[in-house]
Structure 1
Amino acid sequence: MTRHGKNCTAGAVYSYHERRKDTAASGYGTQRVRLGRDAIKDFDCCCLSLQPCRDPVVTPDGFLYEREAIVAYLLHQKTKIARETKAWQRQRAERRQQQQGQGQGQGQGRGAAGAALRSFLEAETPAGNGAGSETPAGSGDPPGPLPSFWIPSLTPEAGAERLQRPERGARCPMSGRRLRLAQLVSVHFTPAQRGLSPARLLARAPSDRYVCALTGDPLGNATPCAVLRPSGAVVTLAAVQRLLRPAMRDPLSGAALSESDIIELQRGGTGFAGAGVSLEAKKSRPVMQA
């Protein structure tokens, strides 16, 4: 098989380059785009509002939120769960009443239907056949009307959707785990330049806003950080390994530390290297066959 040129249109073989060119022109296939720096959330931004936090809190999994945003989200989830729980309990009570009513009236309905059927057969059967006093086999229950889409009275109807029992508590919008307000930890960033107002501090570049509370190193998406639960201070993981691991004590509050008190802060990535997130956006479209 001979090799075709990139712009060959008279060949009998549909080459790989021609398929890629037609796919890009027609909008079919899989499209991969590398995310730029503007598409990555900064380490000090809320996971819900995607804006720099003024009153930040962190979950035990390390996701940073604005206090107002996460509290409003959890309250909304609790209200929704309470509403769904009431609807589920109401439907459950109605189903129990229907089952009890069917169980009580089942015997009476069978007896009345059998008597009506026997009287009908006696009236319609000619005398002398001897069949009027007998009930056909299997005629204890009269056959119900067959469903029909043409007769309004016999049109089948769909019953109410059976509700599932809702969950008991709200979940974190990022990790999907159970989350309570008592589990939120207040975060205190150390500003790079003291004395600045919150508006002027947030107007600076993310890498120039905050520093490590122990070493003074600048914080950014490329720097792994951790939050100390007793004091809420943000430090680098390098400082944790070098300064905190030997004594396991918070130098700012003086409280003893455990492994659960060191919360690694979830961060975004840079435009060149990943930091726990995927930097490639993938969009699948219908595939054009050769």
Structure 2
Amino acid sequence: MTRHAKNCSAGAVYTYQEKKKDTEASGYGTQKVRLNRDAVKDFDCCCLSLQPCRDPVVTPDGYLYEREAILAYILHQKKKIAWQMKGYEKQRAALREEQRQLQRAAAQDRARSFLEKQAAILSQPLNPFMPKAASLPNAGDEQPGPSAGPPGKDKDTILPSFWVPSLTPEAKATKREKPLDDSLDRVGLLPRGERYVCAVTRDGLSNATPCAVLRPSGAVVTLECVEKLIRKDMVDPVNGDTLTERDIIVLQRGGTGFAGSGVKLQAEMSRPVMQA
């Protein structure tokens, strides 16, 4: 394989850098980019707003949220579900109308077929020396046209785009799913103002430090403190309550470019592809 610079086009090999550059410039194909440190949230930031929490709540799985962000998210989801439900009902009405049109077209085809069969039955025998069309009554009065459809229909027809997959003649409208299940019950980053420390050891807390939340007191401690101090007697060092395994919630951390920590650090954007 040849070895040359990224922008060199004299080689006979279509390199990965050239393919990546052409894909980015063409506007087609899936684009992938590696997230840097600035795109990864800190351990004390809300998973929805990506800002430091002022009134935090934590889930049993260790995900941190801002209480206000949860309420705003619920309201947003209600509006989104209402919009999706409206589109779903509109699609159902369109499908019902399409089925009625198909039924009417099938009934018209059956009636037309019946009339054609009735017109083909004659009380007098056909003349074998005359064409079939001439032997039929009133056959000479009819002037066959070039097309059964209305004139100018083909000229006014505009074909969709062949380049975008969603606009090809074979493409169909996206099927909408019902946003709610009937079985369910219907009921700019802010700067960190202070340094976070462990409630017991006073060690600094960051993404590089595994942390845990004690459910009875809501205090945040390091996992090292949990393993070396708290698990010996299973007592909350802040308020003295007895702890269980469910009361120790491990916080989910954001990853960095060097350690993923279970976080996907690659963003993808799907774009239209060119069809052969």
Q: TM-score, with normalisation over the residues of structure 2?
A: 0.56
List aligned pairs for 1:89-168, cutoff 5 A.
89-96=89-96, 98-99=98-99, 102-103=102-103, 106-107=106-107, 109-115=109-115, 118-119=118-119, 128-129=127-128, 150-152=154-156, 161-168=173-180
**Counterpart residue type for residue 81 of structure 2:** I
For structure 1, the residue ranges without an aligned partner over 5 or more in a row are 1-13, 134-142, 170-198, 284-290
Determine helix, strand or coil for the equivalent of 1:82. helix
**Counterpart residue type for residue 261 of structure 2:** G
For structure 2, the residue ranges without an aligned partner over 5 or more in a row are 10-14, 22-32, 137-146, 161-168, 182-189, 269-276
| Residue of structure 2 aligned with 1:214, choices 182, 186, 200 | 200
Q: Within 2, Cα distance between the matches of 1:160 and 1:33?
A: 34
Q: Within 1, Cα distance between the matches of 2:76 and 2:264?
A: 31
Partner of 1:263: 249
The question of whether the paired residues in 2 share the 8 Å contact of 1:250 and 1:257 is answered with no
Pair 145,228 (structure 1): closer, same or farther in 2 beyond 3 Å: farther
Cα deviations by residue, 1:81-116 (Å, 9 ceiling, x for unpaired):
232133223422442454356447734651245316
Partner of 2:71: 71
Partner of 1:80: 80
Q: Within 1, Cα distance between the matches of 2:216 and 2:36?
A: 36
Determine helix, strand or coil for the equivalent of 2:249. strand
Q: Within 1, Cα distance between the matches of 2:229 and 2:178?
A: 46
Q: Within 2, Cα distance between the matches of 1:144 and 1:72?
A: 59
Partner of 1:229: 215
Partner of 2:18: 28
The question of whether the paired residues in 2 share the 8 Å contact of 1:267 and 1:275 is answered with no
Pair 97,41 (structure 1): closer, same or farther in 2 beyond 3 Å: closer
The question of whether the paired residues in 2 share the 8 Å contact of 1:61 and 1:264 is answered with yes
CA RMSD, Structure 1 to Structure 2 (Å): 4.8
Determine helix, strand or coil for the equivalent of 1:22. coil
List aligned pairs for 1:174-253, cutoff 5 A.
202-204=192-194, 209-252=195-238
